[in-house]
Structure formats: C-alpha cells, structure tokens
C-alpha cells in the first residue's frame, strides 16, 4: 500500500504512540462490532442458498449496475468539484464567498428529495413538460434509469469533492506555483505538476465519500427505478427476506472494501506540506463570465429544481389532513440537537484515528482509518437493524434512547470527520509542533497550541459535514429513535409517505434553511485559515 | 391543531367522568345515549358513545355513529403501552392520541415505521422487544409475526367483534379496517363499463396499451399478486405479469402515485387500494377519477389492516384491551371518515363514493393469511423481470 511509506517527521518518538493507537483501535472496534451482526445473520442463511444467491444472474447484473453507477457518479463529482473549488479559491472570480456557499449548498438537500424533485419536474408529464406543452413539446428525454440516477447523485454529492478540495487548495503553499511559473511552466503545467499532487489526497477523500454515498444511497436508485444493490436489498427486506437482505449487504460491504483499497492506490504519494502561504491569485480575464456561468448553472440545476418543487407543494398547500401532521418547531430543535451531538462526538472520535493515520502511517493505522468507512457504505436500514440487534441484546439501557441514535450516526458519518481531519493533519508541517517542543511545550501542549489551530478549518469543516448529513439521515433514525422523538426528516417522511406533499414542504424548507446556515459556518470558519 | 381536537376530546373526558360517577351512584342508569339505540342495552355501564374522533368533518359529508360497541362500554385502559405502528402517523396519530387523552392514566409510546421494517425490527429485537402491540397495514405482516411464533391469542370476545373472515382463524390477530383492491380509471378516457371485470383479461385489453400503471414494490400490490398465485396458479400469474409488461405498464413507487397519475391523465388506469382514490377525491373533488372493481378474483381481494398482541407484551390485558378499542364504534367510524377504509364492525358504514362492504365481490375461499407468502411472489416478480 502506498500509504505505508513513512512520512518523515524528524520526530524521535514516532513509533506508533501507544495511547493514540489504543484510542484509534477502540474507535475502529466500536464502529465495526455492530456490523458483525451482518456476519451472524448471513451465516444463518445457509451455505448452499448463499452461493445460489450470490451467483444468480440478477445479483451479477445488480453488481454491475452498482459498479457503473458508482464509477460514473464519482467521475462526474470530480469533474464538477475540482474546477469549482479551483475557481472559488485560486482565481479572482467575483463574489467568491457567495459562489462558495451556493456551490456547496446542494449538499444540504437530501438526495431522495432531489430525486423526487427531478422526477416531478422532468418526468413524463412533469412540471417542465407541462410548461413546454404550448410550444409543442410532447415528451422529454427519459429521466428514469441510469442517467437520472447519475445526474441526481452527482448533483447532491459533488460538494464532497468541492469542500475537501477547497480546503486543500486554501492551505496549499502557492509559492511553489510561483516558483514553477518562474521556471517557465505554463499555468496548466504548473497546475499539473504542483497543484494536483498537493490536492490529490483531498480530492481522493472527497471522491471516496461521494462513491460510498452513491453505493449506499437507497432513495435515488429507487425513485429513478434503477436496480442498484440498495434497491434489491430493500425489496428483500420488504418481503421478509431478512436473511437474504443481510447477505446482499455483506456483498455490499465487500464492494466497499474494494473501493477503499482502490482509493488508497489513487491517494498515492502523500506528502506533508509546509503551511500554506496563499499569495497570488489567477486572473480570469475574459474567462470570468464563462466561469460564473458554469458555477451558476451547476448551482441552479441542483438548487432551483428541488426548491421550485418544494415551493409548488407549499403553494398547493395543505389540504385538510390529519392534525398529527401539523408542524412543530420542536422537530427542528430535535434535528439540530442530534446533529450537533453527532458532529461533536464524531470529531472527538475521529481525532485520534485521523492523527494516527496522517502522522504515523502504517498498516495498522491505515486499517483503523479504513474501518471507519465501512459503516458509511452500509445502507442505513441495514446499519439500523444491526444496532437494533446490538442495542436490544447488549445495551438495553440505551436502546431506543438518543445515545444509541447518536452512536448510529457516528458510525455512519465518522469518515466525513476522519477524512477531512486527516487531510488537514497531512498539510501541517511537522516542523511546527516540533519547534514548539523545542520551546518547551509538552507534546499535548504543542498539539493544542500549534497543530490544532492549524487543522481547525478541517476540523470545523468535517464537523459541519457530519452535522449536515446527520440532519438528512432517515432510515436509521426511523429504526432507532426514541418513541415519540420526531425530527424534520421523520416528519417529512410521515407526510410524504401519506401522500400529503404540502405538509412535507414546510419541514423540508426548514431543513434546507438550517443546513444552509451550517454551510455558512463552514465558510466563516475558513477565516481560521493560515495566512 | 387544538381547535378541532379540543371540543370532542374535552367532551369525551367530561362525559366519561360523568359516566363513571353515574356508575358509582349505581342507579342513574338509562341516561340518554346520544348516538343510538344500542346504548339502551348497556345501561349498567352508563355508557354513551364518545362521539366522533377528530374534527368530525368529512369531505364527503357528516354523519352520526349508529352501530358497533362504544368505547364507553369497553374496559378502561391504564398504564403504559408500546405500540409499533406500521400505519402512518398521518393517518392514525389522531386516533392514538385520542385514546391517550381519553384516559387519564394511559400512555402510549408509539413507534411509526413501515410495517415490514417493524416486523424486521421485532424479529431482530427477539425476546427483548419492548413492543406490546403491533398495528399493521396488511394481513401479510401480521401473518409473518404469527408464523415466527411471536404473537399471543386474542380472546374470543374481541375476535367476535368482526366477521370470521376478517380475523386470523387461530385467533392470533384481528383485522381492524378493510381495504379493497380496485382499478382507478380516468373518467375522461374510460367509462366504468370499459374496465374488464376479470383481472386476467387486462393483458389482452388493447385500450390499456402503454396506458396503465402499477407499483410492484408496494406491499399491497405484492399481496394482490400473491392472491393471484393462490387462485390462478404460478404459471397463469407469470403469464399475466409477462402480458402486462408486453402491454407497456408504467411503474410507480406506490399506489398513491398510481392513482395520482390516473387523476392527472398521465395514465388511463392502474392498480391501487380503494382509499387512495378517495383520498385524492377528498382533496380535489373535480378530478376525473373513478373506481372500478373486478369480481371474484385476485383483483378484488379484500385485505385488512389489523393488530396483534406480541408475546413480549408486558401487560397482556392492557394490550388486548387496546386492540379491542381499535374495534370500538368510534375507532371504526374514524377509519371510515379519516382513512377512507372499510370499517369491519358491522353497523359502521364506509364513506365516500364506495359501495357497502356486502356489495363487494371478493374471491371466495381465500384465506387472508395465505397472502403472507410474499417471498414467493417477489421471486416470481424477479423471474419475469418486474423487479
């Protein structure tokens, strides 16, 4: 593995520090252990049936479908996320801060709402077709199937790549580029030879999140009628084929491990860099307007379509319905509460794992880091059931309490914190805390006073990502929430499932608003950046 | 939310207290029943009907409760009950909170999710399940829990509240409301007489070419196909599914969306449970949406939503009496008015543009528990490429 190569830190005591290793191991174990339930239930299926199931043609087809979906979504996310990040960090794009927020904002929209909106808008006889009808447009190109699934998943996951790449670009040392330019490299060559290697780990980290999201998302393939793994698992669960579903989930975990391995290849030759000095900015010149147009187009497609549909629902309102659908502010409070708790817990749990992986790369630290990703790629309903089993069997006091719910979220979203923390640690020059040590700081003092402030943007960015995605999570919430505990998404689900779209609009809009605010937090926290 | 609720609720409680007081005095029996004649037979209880639960208003007009057994004649509920509800909160939440408000010393801890996910959850929780009562949208998931041996028998006086065909033959669960399979059709495109009354004739009906919809991942649809397997055999079902695909059937995620698409004219007809049509009509009475029935076949099965008491129930009596309350006249009336389902207790009629239950033609000799075998159906749906 490429990560095995030791990063030179010049620090005498960097043989796997014991405390840190134990802490990472504990986090990794906590995240993995509930998933052993999958193994247990898969063993219940029986060998011959298991083999028959895994090798049957539909399973193979589903496997191929999922692969194609993940590859296309990941490629498209990189193709959108990296240029947009570059535009908003390294060029003189006007209103950069505005564009940064707008471009990151699609992340606040749950992909199932996005998928639904696109189907309503562009499906046969959807809103769009009806608008165009007077112009003689009889039908629109088919949105269902692979194209629709790729489109929607890309639009709502490219911000992962955008955000991680941005963070890397921001803390990158631009004097290197200037140096390359003085050596007569063209801009493109300078980008290729200096920038790309420096941002590659961050791009890979973002792409990994996007890929695993695409693999585990249920809503989009279901709404787009595309047979990915998750849809088949859902159908099995829905017909009481619980054992078969868990077996398929194990297959999904295997695919996840494959993706994790692939990513560590791509991540490649990592280097810790000196803290960034962001100096010169690329002038766009006459490319300014195409650049704005590109950013505006992506944001408009991703944001305007679902917002438009939600507002339509809102306007069509609120037919007379059961009063239990009346919205209560408490739901928003509950969402924020669990999301904030999860963001905090995931950051704390992620710190030792990320630090160990970045500073003391070895097979062991990499295994710990990678294992935090497994829960992220398991569909929410599978993870939910695994925790139902563990909670009701071994942790009855916290079963169906907020503690177990937050634990579930941490398992699910920890990699978002780990990924961005690890990328941040990699960008801190080890010479800096070392200098603090020579000035008399203790190791933990050096960490707190030197390293931590330097990684603060990554830390807040990761926490905000976890916050956002927790706000949107549905399947595990439904299985694990305490009785009577309602959040924005459970309310949206309740209203939507009953067909009362009007009632789903209000909480959905509030969800977007609150998540949008946390996006603002990410952007302001970037002020923390090293100047 | 309070405005609509407060009046009947306050009324109910006050009346209940009055009734209890009357019982205490022992001799004040015979106070006039507001609701109907049957009250006179229960004077010893001093009961009066609780009146309508919820707003009392219906888009299809107002009415009085006439038949059935009133809540006030049922054993009181007290203590704490954990309810796993596969029925949506939007539809039954009001009813649940009504019971809670009606009894001072009664708390319900409801957990809402899809019925199958709750079945999976209960099975995964095993003996540690906190669930007392499971309330479900279909006989299939009730049967699944019964098959796993996770249920308790209900007493005969509860089972006797509904007709034999609407509860489990072994008394492990009871239906609480009914749902008929129907063919929603667009009245601009079709007349009622254009819709075949034999479900097996649909694939050969050219008028439906590229103009009909279904929701194959939806559990009611799967129950319908299960019924077809039972009634017509695997081969015929396979041919039917193949035929429908050749005809060009459009797939939807659920039957509300099927009905919606029919109302919008996106498709001319579809397969859906009856209440989706009523729910759309309640919102837009002008929609060109009609209800057609097939006769005596899988297309006309009458499934039930129902409830059962789990083997893990802390207090079996409380759980049983809660199920009994779901069969009270008031709850039955609630289902008719609010969820547009068929009440199962005789004397409480359906509402809206629906024929009474006796005029339906469900297939004879089909036991609802036979509809629990969804796995075989899913396998078949896969085989022919529907799923």
Same domain? For A360 and A496 the reply is yes
Same domain? For A465 and A500 the reply is yes
Residue A4 has pLDDT above 70, yes or no: no
What does the alpha-carbon distance between residue A298 and residue A302 come to, in Å, rounded to a whole number?
6
Instruction: Please give the tally of structural domains in chain B.
Output: 2
Q: Which residues contact A69 (CB under 8 A, 6 or more apart)?
A: A146, A149, A150, A153, A214, A215, A221, A226, A228
Query: Which of A524, A521, A529 shows the shortest CA–CA distance to A456?
Result: A529
Same domain? For B308 and B264 the reply is no
For the residues A326-337, what does the mean pLDDT come to? 91
The tokens describing B80, both together, are 């704490």
Residue numbers of the domain that contains B330: 71-178+303-359
Q: Which residues contact B274 (CB under 8 A, 6 or more apart)?
A: B179, B180, B181, B182, B291, B340, B342, B354
Same domain? For A170 and A196 the reply is yes
Within chain A, what is the greatest distance between any pair of CA atoms? 78
Same domain? For B244 and B378 the reply is yes
**b/e A294-320 (16+ beta carbons within 10 angstroms → b):** bbeebbeebbebbeebbebbbeeebbe
Residue numbers of the domain that contains A67: 55-228+255-267
Tokens 């085989």 belong to B383
For the residues A120-138, what does the mean pLDDT come to? 69
User: What is residue A277's predicted lDDT score, i.e. its pLDDT?
Assistant: 55
Tell me whether residues B378 and A326 touch, CB distance under 8 A. Answer: no
Same domain? For A33 and A91 the reply is no
Tell me whether residues A239 and B222 touch, CB distance under 8 A. Answer: yes
Under 8 Å between Cβ of B212 and B185: no
Under 8 Å between Cβ of A3 and A264: yes
Count of positions (residues) in chain A = 531
User: What is residue A13's predicted lDDT score, i.e. its pLDDT?
Assistant: 44
For the residues A155-170, what does the mean pLDDT come to? 88
Q: Which residue of B has its CA nearest to A129?
A: B266
Same domain? For A223 and A328 the reply is no
Q: Is A471 within the bounds of a domain?
A: yes
Same domain? For B101 and B219 the reply is no
CATH (domain of A337): 1.10.3720.10
Q: Is B88 within the bounds of a domain?
A: yes
Same domain? For B123 and B171 the reply is yes
Highest-scoring range by mean pLDDT, A22-31, A258-267, A449-458, B22-31: A22-31
CA-derived radius of gyration, chain B: 22
User: What is residue B24's predicted lDDT score, i.e. its pLDDT?
Assistant: 36
Q: Is A476 within the bounds of a domain?
A: yes
Same domain? For B140 and B236 the reply is no
Q: Which residue of A has its CA nearest to B281?
A: A319
Residue A342 has pLDDT above 50, yes or no: yes
Under 8 Å between Cβ of A388 and A360: no
Interface pTM, i.e. ipTM: 0.81
User: What is residue A406's predicted lDDT score, i.e. its pLDDT?
Assistant: 97
| Residues of chain B predicted below pLDDT 50 | 1-47
Residue, of A411 and B165, whose pLDDT is higher: A411
What does the alpha-carbon distance between residue A150 and residue A394 come to, in Å, rounded to a whole number?
40
Same domain? For B274 and B138 the reply is no
Q: Is A108 within the bounds of a domain?
A: yes
Instruction: Please give the tally of structural domains in chain A.
Output: 2
- Residue B273 DSSP code: E
Strand partners, B108: B81
For the residues A457-482, what does the mean pLDDT come to? 88
Averaged confidence pLDDT in chain A: 83
- Residue A240 DSSP code: T
Distance of CA A239 to the CA centre of its chain: 30
Same domain? For A72 and A127 the reply is yes
From A236, A237, A326, residue closest to B1, measured CB to CB: A326
Residue A455 has pLDDT above 70, yes or no: yes
Same domain? For A449 and A386 the reply is yes
CATH (domain of B341): 3.40.190.10
User: What is residue B356's predicted lDDT score, i.e. its pLDDT?
Assistant: 84
User: What is residue B2's predicted lDDT score, i.e. its pLDDT?
Assistant: 29
User: What is residue A266's predicted lDDT score, i.e. its pLDDT?
Assistant: 74
Query: Which of B5, B339, B217, B180 shows the shortest CA–CA distance to A500?
Result: B339
User: What is residue B13's predicted lDDT score, i.e. its pLDDT?
Assistant: 38
Please report which confidence band the pLDDT of residue A526 belongs to, taking 50, 70 and 90 as the band edges.
low
**pLDDT tens-digit map of A483-505:** 889 999 998 888 877 767 778 88
Q: Which of B90, B128, B215, B254 to mutate to test the interface with A (most CBs of A within 10 A)?
A: B90
Q: Is A470 within the bounds of a domain?
A: yes
Report DSSP letters for A115-166, one per residue.
HHHHHHHHSTT-HHHHHHGGGT-------TTHHHHHHHHHHHHHHHHHHHHH
* B 183-242 residues with CB < 8 A to A: 217, 219, 222
Q: Is A2 within the bounds of a domain?
A: no
From B90, B116, B128, residue closest to A494, measured CB to CB: B90
What does the alpha-carbon distance between residue B174 and residue B168 come to, in Å, rounded to a whole number?
6
Q: Which residues of A touch B (CB under 8 A)?
A: 58, 124-125, 222-223, 225, 232, 234-242, 319-326, 381, 385, 388-389, 392-393, 396, 399-400, 478-479, 483-484, 494-495, 497-500, 503
User: What is residue A322's predicted lDDT score, i.e. its pLDDT?
Assistant: 52
What does the alpha-carbon distance between residue B229 and residue A203 come to, in Å, rounded to a whole number?
52
φ and ψ at residue B251, rounded to 5 degrees = -95, 135
A&B contacts, CB < 8 Å:
123
Under 8 Å between Cβ of A9 and A359: yes
Q: Which residues contact B253 (CB under 8 A, 6 or more apart)?
A: A222, A223, B215, B217, B218
For the residues A411-432, what does the mean pLDDT come to? 85
B26 at A interface, C-beta within 8 A? no
What string of H, E and C letters represents the secondary structure of A52-84? HHHHCHHHHHHHHHHHHHHHHHHHHHHHHHHHH
Under 8 Å between Cβ of A45 and A244: yes
What are the chain B neighbours of A399 within 8 Å (beta carbons)? 128, 130
User: What is residue A470's predicted lDDT score, i.e. its pLDDT?
Assistant: 94
Q: Is B162 within the bounds of a domain?
A: yes
Same domain? For B214 and B324 the reply is no
What does the alpha-carbon distance between residue B269 and residue B263 come to, in Å, rounded to a whole number?
9
Q: Which residue of A has its CA nearest to B283?
A: A319
Q: Is B141 within the bounds of a domain?
A: yes
For the residues A357-376, what does the mean pLDDT come to? 89
Q: Is A15 within the bounds of a domain?
A: no
């Amino acid at each position: 593995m490429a990560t095995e190569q030791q990063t030179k830190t010049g620090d005498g005591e960097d043989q796997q520090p014991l405390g840190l290793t134990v802490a990472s191991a504990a986090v990794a174990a906590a995240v993995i252990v509930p998933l052993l339930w999958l193994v247990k239930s898969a063993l219940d299926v029986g060998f011959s049936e298991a083999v028959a199931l895994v090798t049957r043609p539909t399973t193979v087809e589903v496997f191929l479908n999922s692969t194609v979906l993940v590859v296309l979504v990941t490629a498209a996310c990189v193709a959108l996320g990296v240029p947009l990040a570059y535009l908003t960090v390294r060029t003189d794009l006007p209103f950069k801060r505005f564009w940064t927020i707008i471009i990151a904002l699609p992340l606040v929209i749950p992909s199932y709402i996005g998928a639904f909106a696109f189907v309503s808008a562009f499906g046969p006889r959807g809103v769009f077709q009806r608008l165009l009808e007077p112009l003689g447009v009889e039908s629109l190109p088919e949105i269902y199937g692979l194209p629709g699934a790729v489109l929607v998943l890309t639009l709502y996951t490219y911000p992962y790549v955008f955000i991680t790449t941005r963070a890397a670009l921001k803390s990158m040392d631009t004097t290197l580029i200037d140096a390359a330019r003085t050596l007569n490299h063209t801009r493109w060559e300078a980008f290729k030879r200096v920038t790309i290697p420096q941002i590659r780990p961050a791009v890979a980290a973002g792409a990994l999140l996007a890929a695993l999201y695409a693999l585990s998302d249920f809503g989009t393939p279901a709404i787009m009628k595309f047979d990915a793994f998750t849809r088949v698992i859902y159908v099995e669960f829905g017909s009481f084929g619980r054992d078969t579903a868990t077996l398929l989930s194990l297959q999904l975990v295997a695919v996840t491990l494959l993706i994790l391995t692939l990513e560590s290849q791509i991540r490649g030759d990592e280097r810790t860099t000196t803290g960034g000095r962001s100096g010169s900015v690329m002038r766009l010149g006459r490319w300014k307007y195409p650049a704005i147009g590109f950013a505006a187009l992506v944001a408009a497609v991703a944001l305007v379509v679902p917002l438009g549909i939600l507002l339509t629902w809102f306007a069509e309102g609120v037919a007379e319905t059961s009063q239990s659908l009346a919205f209560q502010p408490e739901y928003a409070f509950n969402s924020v509460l669990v999301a904030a708790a999860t963001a905090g817990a995931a950051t704390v749990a992620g710190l030792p794992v990320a630090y160990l992986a970045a500073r003391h790369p070895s097979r062991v630290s990499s295994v710990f880091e990678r294992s935090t990703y497994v829960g992220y790629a398991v569909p929410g309903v599978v993870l939910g059931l695994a925790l139902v089993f563990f909670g009701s069997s071994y942790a009855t006091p916290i079963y169906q309490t907020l503690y177990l719910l937050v634990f579930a979220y941490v398992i699910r979203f920890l990699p978002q914190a780990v990924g961005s923390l690890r990328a941040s640690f990699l960008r801190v020059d080890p010479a800096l805390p070392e200098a603090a040590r020579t000035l008399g700081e203790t190791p933990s003092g050096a960490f707190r006073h030197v390293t931590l402030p330097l990684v603060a943007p990554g830390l807040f960015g990761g926490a905000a990502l976890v916050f956002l995605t927790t706000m949107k999570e549905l399947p595990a919430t439904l299985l694990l929430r305490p009785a009577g505990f309602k959040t924005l998404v459970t309310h949206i689900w309740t209203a939507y499932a009953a067909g009362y779209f009007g009632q789903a609009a209000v909480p959905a809009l509030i969800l977007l608003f609150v998540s949008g605010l946390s996006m603002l937090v990410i952007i302001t926290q970037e002020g923390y950046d090293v100047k | 939310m309070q405005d609509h609720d407060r009046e009947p609720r306050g009324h109910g409680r006050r009346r209940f207290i009055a009734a209890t007081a009357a019982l205490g005095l022992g001799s004040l029996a015979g106070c006039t029943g507001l609701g109907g004649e049957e009250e006179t037979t229960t004077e010893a209880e001093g009961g009066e009907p609780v009146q309508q639960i919820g707003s009392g208003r219906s888009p299809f007009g107002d009415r009085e409760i006439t038949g059935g057994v009133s809540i006030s004649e049922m054993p009181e509920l007290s203590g704490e009950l954990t309810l796993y509800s596969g029925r949506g909160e939007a539809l039954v939440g009001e009813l649940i909170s009504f019971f809670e408000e009606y009894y001072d010393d009664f708390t319900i801890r409801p957990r809402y999710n899809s019925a199958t996910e709750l079945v999976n959850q209960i099975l995964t929780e095993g003996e540690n399940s906190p669930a007392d009562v499971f309330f479900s949208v279909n006989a299939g998931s009730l049967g699944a829990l019964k098959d796993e041996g996770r249920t308790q028998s209900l007493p005969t006086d509860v089972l006797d509240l509904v007709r034999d065909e609407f509860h489990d033959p072994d008394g492990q669960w009871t239906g609480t409301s009914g749902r008929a399979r129907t063919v929603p059709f667009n009245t601009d495109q079709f007349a009622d007489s254009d819709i075949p009354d034999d479900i097996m004739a649909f694939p050969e009906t050219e008028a439906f070419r590229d103009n009909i919809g279904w929701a194959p991942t939806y559990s009611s649809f799967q129950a319908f196909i299960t019924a077809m397997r039972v009634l017509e055999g695997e081969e015929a079902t396979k041919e039917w599914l193949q035929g429908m695909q050749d005809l060009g059937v459009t797939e939807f995620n659920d039957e509300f969306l099927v009905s919606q698409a029919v109302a919008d004219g996106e498709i001319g007809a579809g397969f859906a449970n009856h209440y989706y049509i009523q729910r759309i009509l309640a919102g837009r009475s002008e929609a060109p949406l009609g209800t057609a029935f097939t006769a005596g076949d899988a297309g006309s099965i009458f499934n039930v939503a129902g409830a059962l008491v789990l083997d893990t129930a802390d207090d079996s009596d409380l759980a049983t009496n809660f199920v009994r309350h779901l069969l009270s006249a008031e709850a039955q009336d609630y289902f008719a008015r609010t969820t547009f389902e068929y009440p199962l207790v005789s004397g409480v009629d359906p509402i809206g543009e629906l024929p009474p239950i006796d005029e339906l033609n469900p297939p004879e000799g089909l036991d609802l528990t036979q509809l629990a075998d969804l796995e075989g159906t899913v396998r078949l749906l896969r085989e022919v490429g529907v799923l």
